[in-house]
Chains A and B, each alone.
Chain A
């Protein structure tokens, strides 16, 4: 899982500092080894997204970043080769929206 490492304001202008995360290597094996820690499988009911995670709407893999994610951020799903923009759903959850 993602563990908060430190608060860090790098790359952010006038916003709250972002949490940073150390990504561990899980069992995700669908992308080259150097990219594996940026992805994990959704574990079904009971699973929860951390602040640095969004689900890829195309292939349903969980995408992870070393930074807390916020609306407007760009993330990539390498499992299905999709570029996504992070948005906030009406329910308040972060979501990935395809950017073709």
Chain B
């Protein structure tokens, strides 16, 4: 994929349509992920140091990863379902790349659980999944199932993605080196997903401002769950209370840019 390096005079001179076509393509996706996944195995470099964890550290990490697996499963099911209701082919192709990303996220997290000695990750997830993230998944899939494109996209690519983006980024700062590399790789994928959600929703709301009320409704409906899920996760990661208000910032900034700030 590396081949001859093509020179681009200034990427910002691209016409908006050419930019849209380029970044939503599988071609772009291939070359983007190749940059940071090349040479990794299950999301981390083979030589990443495995630092010893105490029993309680390991136990807490397993709980956190089990909940990440629920979130990633929801994202995988959500993105796949969104393909069917996406309004055009370019969007469908992008969502196919997102579904592949989410499948990879689930796989590397399951693999990490295995490396931590979890013999049956499925059973462990069943046992440790928090009620709030399970409920979020149920509501997200109901929105996808109801073919409500804007509402489902908001729940999936704005709420869930912003939550994962922030939590994984924060967790990677204190995690053991292997988990940190796995999370950093996921964050790089999630950048595309949050950007897609915000931009697509921004476009839809610009074209049809009346849809804003419906999105506001979904937001009010899901906000409490989002806050609860955030709170549970950060407690399990062990983030000090003083740093917690920062965690909702990416989500709040996105909803404010979309003009959805007031609940």
Contact A65 B12, beta carbon cutoff 8 Å: yes
Contact A82 B199, beta carbon cutoff 8 Å: yes
Residues of A within 8 A of B9 (CB): 66
Task: List 15 contacting pairs A-B, 8 Å CB cutoff, sorted by A.
Answer: A29-B36, A30-B35, A32-B28, A35-B8, A58-B257, A59-B191, A59-B195, A74-B12, A75-B12, A80-B195, A80-B196, A98-B199, A100-B202, A100-B203, A100-B205
Give A residues with C-beta under 8 Å from B: 29-36, 38, 57-59, 61, 65-67, 73-83, 98, 100
**Can you list, as one digit per residue, whether each of B182-213 has a CB less than 8 Å from chain A (1) or not (0)?**
00000010011011101100110110000000
Segment with Cβ contacts to A, from B16-24, B50-58, B75-83, B109-117:
B16-24
Contact B257 A32, beta carbon cutoff 8 Å: no
Residues of A within 8 A of B192 (CB): 79-81
Task: Give min CB distance, A53 to chain B, whole Å.
Answer: 12
Please report whether the interface of chain A is mostly helix, strand, loop or mixed according to DSSP: loop
B 3-45 contacts with A by CB, 8 A? 5-12, 14, 16, 19-20, 23-24, 28, 31-32, 35-36
Contact A31 B32, beta carbon cutoff 8 Å: yes
The listed residue (A58, A61, A67) touching B198 by CB distance below 8 A is A58
Contact B195 A76, beta carbon cutoff 8 Å: no
A-B residue pairs, 10 tightest by C-beta: A80-B195, A100-B202, A32-B31, A29-B35, A81-B23, A81-B195, A59-B191, A34-B6, A66-B10, A80-B191
Q: Output the residue of A30, A65, A79 with the most chain B CB within 10 A.
A: A30
The listed residue (A33, A57, A81, A82) touching B31 by CB distance below 8 A is A33
